[in-house]
Amino acid sequence: MQDGTRLNQYLLKEDLGRGSYGMVKLVYNEDDNNLYAMKIMSKKKLLRQAGFARRPMKGGKKPTTPLDRVYREIALLKKLDHPNVVKLVEVLDDPDDDSLYMVFELMKEGEVLDVPTTEPLKENVAQRYFRDVLLGLEYLHYQKIIHRDIKPSNLLLDDHNRVKIADFGVSQEFSDGDAEISSTVGTPAFLPPEAVSGVNDKFYGKPLDIWALGITLYSLVYGETPFKSPHILELHEKICNHDVIYPSTPKVSVECRELMGRMLTKDPALRITMKDIKVHRWVTQGGVTPMPSETDNCQLVTVTDDDVRSCVKVIPKLKTLILVKSMLKKHSFKNPLTSSQGKT
């Protein structure tokens, strides 16, 4: 084993990528002889940035410490069970150490598309992926979770060419109706006008995810985001005031452009909703392939105090943790899974 670092039954291998709140490594589970993806996070950082597990608590049972909130959120993530949401298998925690380890099913093919690219997806492939993301996102919204960072690099492919949503690092739970969001986290080029204009101190979460989904679809079919600038204020200005330009190449159908236009509607109140995207003619191929209903796609997950208590596996103090940390400093962002298959 090149690194030789171990955490319980997991042998730590190459880096896979970096998400919003920590890095993700390829690991080998000696108990079941399978590969997994392990996200390594710092509890301190989670608490300091307070971007994880912000749950608006309206009366009722309130968690005692901020760390309780983190664990409650982990308990929820662990209970999520949907074919288009990356499955969290196990969480390891050393109470005396700052690191928290989340073990996910491995998505062997990695990110759906590395944007920008000169080789965007064919429209029919983008459509298949988009339908997967729609179902995953509908499920998250149904669980009252706003993802807040939908983008191609957070959409992962498994070996059956199915897309699953990853990186809940900045996700937010909301209580009723829709979340009112105030801070701006997420990726600048994927943020909607209401989040960057500076005139609103509150905006809704679902339309924010829908806008990001629109930028994502645009990126999948054109290979780049519609609004670009190296200067953040200029980027914001474009997002708020510029029309979306649809290049003449690659050729994209009017149906697809029309859908993108409705997701990229500047006014969040006029933006298309999940319900209407699901029956849009580009998504259903004019009614030929309808989407499953919300009822068929979603089942509400509830989190009990017992879930919170049992969601993490407590691991004993390990000298190897020091090694893991030193490994965190040297990262390569290549996909060792596909690059080892002889591609150059």
Residue identified by tokens 């970096």 is: 18
Encoding tokens for residue 126? 């983008």
* Cβ proximity to ligand 8R4, 169 vs 207, nearer residue: 169
335 belongs to the binding site for ligand 8R4 (CB under 6 A)? yes
**Nearest approach, Cβ of residue 344 and ligand 8R4 (Å):** 17
* Cβ proximity to ligand 8R4, 30 vs 159, nearer residue: 159
17 belongs to the binding site for ligand 8R4 (CB under 6 A)? yes
Produce one character per residue of 78-90: b if its CB has 16 or more CB atoms within 10 Å, e if not: bebebebbbbbbb
Q: Contact, 42 vs 100, CB < 8 A?
A: yes
- Angstrom distances, CA of residue 101 to CA of 138, 264, 319: 27, 36, 15
Give the HSE-up count for residue 118: Cα atoms under 13 Å, Cβ half-sphere: 0
Q: Contact, 227 vs 239, CB < 8 A?
A: yes
Interface segment toward ligand 8R4; rule CB under 6 A; list 12-20, 178-186, 225-233, 241-249: 12-20
Q: Contact, 14 vs 33, CB < 8 A?
A: no
Residue from 16, 126, 134, 150 in contact with ligand 8R4 (CB under 6 A): 16
For the four alpha carbons of 129, 130, 135 and 139, in that order, the dihedral sign comes to positive
Annotated catalytic residue, options 15, 94, 132, 149: 149
Interface segment toward ligand 8R4; rule CB under 6 A; list 105-113, 185-193, 205-213, 236-244: 105-113
Question: Which residue, judged by CB position, is nearest to ligand 8R4 in the bound state?
Answer: 19
User: What's the rounded Cα separation, in Å, for the pair 145 and 261?
Assistant: 25
Interface segment toward ligand 8R4; rule CB under 6 A; list 11-19, 76-84, 287-295, 304-312: 11-19
Interface segment toward ligand 8R4; rule CB under 6 A; list 101-109, 193-201, 211-219, 259-267: 101-109
* Cβ proximity to ligand 8R4, 78 vs 280, nearer residue: 78
User: What's the rounded Cα separation, in Å, for the pair 151 and 213?
Assistant: 7
Which of 153, 181, 184, 179 has its CA nearest to residue 166? 153
Task: Look up 98 and say whether it is catalytic.
Answer: no
154 belongs to the binding site for ligand 8R4 (CB under 6 A)? yes
Q: How many binding residues for ligand 8R4 (CB under 6 A)? A: 23
User: What's the rounded Cα separation, in Å, for the pair 290 and 280?
Assistant: 9
* Cβ proximity to ligand 8R4, 101 vs 203, nearer residue: 101
Which of 36, 3, 54 has its CA nearest to residue 331? 3
* DSSP summary character for residue 204: E
115 belongs to the binding site for ligand 8R4 (CB under 6 A)? no
147 belongs to the binding site for ligand 8R4 (CB under 6 A)? no
Kindly write out the interface string for residues 65-94 of this chain, putting x where it contacts ligand 8R4 by CB under 6 A and - elsewhere.
Answer: ---------------------x--------
Q: Which residues contact 254 (CB under 8 A, 6 or more apart)?
A: none
111 belongs to the binding site for ligand 8R4 (CB under 6 A)? yes
Q: Contact, 4 vs 27, CB < 8 A?
A: no
Q: Interface residues for ligand 8R4 in 20-39 (CB under 6 A)? A: 20, 24, 37, 39
170 belongs to the binding site for ligand 8R4 (CB under 6 A)? no
163 belongs to the binding site for ligand 8R4 (CB under 6 A)? no
| Beta pairing, strands 88-93 & 313-314 | parallel
Q: Which residues are known catalytic residues? A: 149
Given the rule CB under 6 A, which residues bind ligand 8R4? 16-20, 24, 37, 39, 86, 104-107, 110-111, 153-154, 156, 166-167, 169, 335, 337
